[in-house]
Structure 1
Amino acid sequence: MSYLEAIVVGAFQGVTELFPVSSLGHSVLIPALVGGQWAKDLDVSAPESPYLAFIVGLHVATALALLVFFWRDWVRIIGGFCTSIRYRRLKTPAERLAWLIVLATIPVGVSGLLLEHLFRSTLGKPIPAASFLIANGAVLYLGERLRRRADRVSTVDEAPAQVLDTADVATQVIPAVETDPDTRLARIPLKRGVLIGSAQILALLPGISRSGVTMVAGLLRGLSHEDAARFSFLLATPVILAAGALKIPDLTGPLGAGIHGPILAGSVASFVSAYLAVRFLTRYFHTRTLTPFAIYCGVAGLASLLWLTLG
């Protein structure tokens, strides 16, 4: 693996992990589209692939960027988790949000351990990745359409609100302008939070975006774009960090032999690009939607599919 390959892949990893366009899909497609030595060096589906260990290891840098950006939130969340254990309660917003993230992370954690190798070895190839990228665009576009339809039929004439879908309080709303973002997220019912978190399982498919599917799930469950993005980033942090940490031993062993320099360069590129990406997206989703990303995924996926099959 060359330094150029490592830096390019690292930069794309940081951006595409947080943009709703699939980092794994781009990690599979970019080498295939470039061709030549890149396609040989950077094959994620190869047995005992150092490239797979490399890109998953880059997740540590991406997760660190998220931790740095949301450090105040994580101080409160970790503090809430500790106080909930100490006092055996689930009372404050920080305590509720901490357990919401814990419970919502369990499904994808278990699924990743059981299915990652199967999905990577059978679907971690350019043609399936391009196809799933098109599907990712369709999911983003459909999610936006369904959300807009729900907004049109809504009879609530107040400020932006989130509807609690509990059986006994079906009409109760949480005014989005009355509380800070973490407090709003803490009011998500646990069942709804677990459903949103479970959407991350789809991101095991190369071409399906983790942030994209969790945002769509959040939108369909009543969150605003801003809160859906924030919840997606908070949910992704422990999952990305754990996935990367599991691959670090591989990078220090035979799979990482001779590429420690490129690994470091790629990690720095991934950290910087991820930090800039999350900084941009938290502002972008304050007023904008997933539609541009849906169009990009559809066009890029279709163009890649045509290039790979007809070229």
Structure 2
Amino acid sequence: MDFSYAQAVLIGAIQGITELFPISSLGHAVLVPAWVGGQWSNFTTDPNSPYLVATIALHTASALALFIVFRKRWAGLIKSAAGSLTGRHNAESSVFWRLVVATIPVAILGFVFEKNLRVLFSKPLASAIFLTLNGCILFTVEKISHSKSVSEKVAEEDKHITQSISVKSAIAIGFGQSLALFAGISRFGISMSAGLLRGLSHSTASDFAFLLALPVIAGASLYKLPDLFLPENTHLLGPILVGSIVSFICTYASISFLVRWFKTRTLYPFAIYCLVVGLFSILRFAG
């Protein structure tokens, strides 16, 4: 099956925009081809389709954008974590180890259930249902966090994530992230929702979610990236390279936008978007 440069650019833009918006990049990777129809509808159903390989490569570009934006933060976290091995513990080293703990559950579950979940990758109705569920989760979490006046209560706690996210909470967030293995559930949205429920402000919850996104996205994409260089996929390198550049640029722009957004705003617009698109997609693909 062919994979054109125009398709690569469009898919790269969708991946870059939706990866860190709490609206599920994987859900959109399933629903967009289904909505467009024609040859696009074969992307997720044809076993010989280059779409899955391309999507993995575009995720790698998103991971690179995350690393570049937060490189100084990661350098500090890694340095502090190395120091903690010799007994020099501080807040940053605790954040690092909580990120490790939160990554383990989704890594294990993703590896174990990869083949089963790949079947759902070709089912737009399932993705539409999960996207609607994602909207319900975001909306409910916002209602709960607002009812508790979280922003005012934890202004002091925002100084250190570790004061609100214990090791047990990190494990819970890790298992919560595993829901994002289903196309339609947003990994970033689940991570941020867990932070809000633990009493973090939107800004600090999004900060933890950004940090947590890198090891998960990078691990998943690098694990499958060698498939791109198989002999049967070498003709895809040109379009995928172009799509990856677009994905990188859009991811970088999305991070900049969301960092500013969550300083003063909430998840409500994203919840409404997921509910509207999810419900319309259910109506479209239920027949």
Alignment of 1:110-189 (within 5 A): 110-122=108-120, 124-151=122-149, 160-162=152-154, 175-176=156-157, 179=159, 184-187=160-163, 188-189=165-166
Query: Which residue number corresponds to residue 63 of structure 2?
Result: 63
Assess if the C-alpha contact under 8 Å between 1:49 and 1:255 holds in 2: no
Alignment of 1:272-291 (within 5 A): 272-291=249-268
Q: CA deviation at 1:48?
A: 5.8
Q: CA deviation at 1:123?
A: 5.2
Alignment of 1:184-195 (within 5 A): 184-187=160-163, 188-195=165-172
Structure 1 residue runs of 5 or longer lacking an equivalent are 163-173
Distance change >3 Å, CA 268–CA 234, structure 1 → 2: same
Q: CA deviation at 1:146?
A: 1.4
Q: How far apart are the structure 1 equivalents of 2:279 and 2:239?
A: 31
Query: Which residue number corresponds to residue 3 of structure 1?
Result: 5
SS at match of 2:263: coil
Assess if the C-alpha contact under 8 Å between 2:102 and 2:173 holds in 1: yes
Give me the identity figure in percent. 45
Q: How far apart are the structure 2 equivalents of 1:98 and 1:119?
A: 29
Distance change >3 Å, CA 214–CA 124, structure 1 → 2: farther
Assess if the C-alpha contact under 8 Å between 2:131 and 2:278 holds in 1: yes
Q: CA deviation at 1:83?
A: 1.5
Assess if the C-alpha contact under 8 Å between 1:46 and 1:121 holds in 2: no
Report the AA paired with residue 14 of structure 1: G
Q: CA deviation at 1:305?
A: 2.1
SS at match of 1:222: coil
Report the AA paired with residue 175 of structure 1: E
Q: Over the residues paired in the alignment, what is the CA RMSD in angstroms?
A: 1.8
Assess if the C-alpha contact under 8 Å between 1:218 and 1:228 holds in 2: yes
SS at match of 1:112: helix
Report the AA paired with residue 51 of structure 1: Y
Structure 2 residue runs of 5 or longer lacking an equivalent are none
Q: How far apart are the structure 2 equivalents of 1:108 and 1:133?
A: 19
TM-score (norm 1): 0.87
Which structure dedicates a bigger proportion of its chain to helix? 2
Q: CA deviation at 1:91?
A: 1.5
For each residue in 1:91-122, what CA deviation from the matched residue of structure 2 results, as whole angstroms up to 9, or x when unmatched? 21221111111111100110110112211214
Q: How far apart are the structure 2 equivalents of 1:240 and 1:52?
A: 15
Q: CA deviation at 1:213?
A: 1.0
Runs of at least 4 residues of structure 1 off by over 4 A?
none
Query: Which residue number corresponds to residue 19 of structure 1?
Result: 21
Q: How far apart are the structure 1 equivalents of 2:94 and 2:213?
A: 17
Larger Rg: 1
Aligned counterpart for 1:217 among listed residues 194, 217, 239: 194
Query: Which residue number corresponds to residue 169 of structure 1?
Result: none
